[in-house]
């Protein structure tokens, strides 16, 4: 039983690092705000992380339309 818990913990940690790292690379270093994988990860992130991510993308790409998950009700304004 102890071995199963250990394996589950390692798998969860690895998934968190993999998806979290990919999300951070999208938010902090993407060349375009329209990266499909980054948009999907950001739109499924918890609200505080999504808000920070959208704010970071907005600072880096102020003249572009916001990607899905960062758009306001009209689809043209940033959150």
**Is it the case that residue 75 has pLDDT exceeding 90?**
no
Neighbours of 42 (CB within 10 A): 24
Domain boundaries, the chain: 2-60
Q: What is the pTM of this model?
A: 0.83
pLDDT digits (tens, 9 = 90+) for 17-66: 999 999 999 999 999 999 999 999 999 999 999 999 999 999 999 999 99
57, 67 in Cβ contact below 8 A? yes
Query: Residue 77: what pLDDT?
Result: 86
Cα distances from 15 to residues 44, 68, 79, in angstroms, run 14, 23, 28
Query: Residue 39: what pLDDT?
Result: 94
Angle CA 25–77–38, to nearest 5: 20
């Amino acid at each position: 039983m102890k071995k199963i818990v250990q394996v589950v913990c390692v798998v969860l940690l690895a998934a968190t690092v993999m998806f979290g790292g990919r999300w951070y690379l999208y938010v902090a270093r993407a060349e375009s705000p329209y990266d499909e994988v980054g948009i999907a990860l950001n739109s499924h992130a918890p609200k505080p992380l999504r808000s920070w991510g959208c704010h970071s993308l907005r600072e880096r790409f102020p003249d572009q339309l916001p990607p899905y998950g960062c758009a306001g009700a009209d689809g043209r304004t940033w959150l």
